[in-house]
């Protein structure tokens, strides 16, 4: 019986690269919301919604249900 080598662990990004990636996502979010104040409000609202739903997956499911209802109503 031959011993196999353990699977190589994926290399982790340097903290600096993680920060740069986060800032790029943040800048895109702010731009898509039309400014920093609107982005802050959207983030706060989203956080409250996710917290109330219990998880991001549950919040996403609730939005899918609303979208499905809208489709049925407008059809």
Q: Say what angle helices 15-33 and 36-53 make with each other, to 10 degrees.
A: 100
- Residue 26: which of 48, 4, 43, 9 has the closest Cα? 43
At 46-56, the pLDDT tens digits run 999 999 999 99
Domain positions in the chain: 15-74
CB 39 within 8 A of CB 29: yes
Looking at per-residue pLDDT, the higher value among 42 and 15 belongs to 42
Task: Look up the pTM and report it.
Answer: 0.65
Q: Say what angle helices 36-53 and 56-74 make with each other, to 10 degrees.
A: 100
Beta strand spans in the chain (E): none
At 6-15, the pLDDT tens digits run 666 667 888 8
At 19-32, the pLDDT tens digits run 999 999 999 999 99
């Amino acid at each position: 019986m031959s011993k196999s080598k353990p699977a190589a662990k994926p290399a982790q990004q340097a903290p600096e690269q993680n920060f740069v990636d986060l800032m790029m996502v943040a800048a895109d979010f702010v731009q898509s919301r039309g400014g920093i104040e609107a982005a802050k409000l959207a983030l706060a609202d989203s956080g409250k919604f996710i917290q109330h739903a219990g998880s991001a997956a549950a919040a996403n499911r609730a939005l899918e249900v609303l979208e499905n209802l809208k489709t049925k109503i407008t059809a």
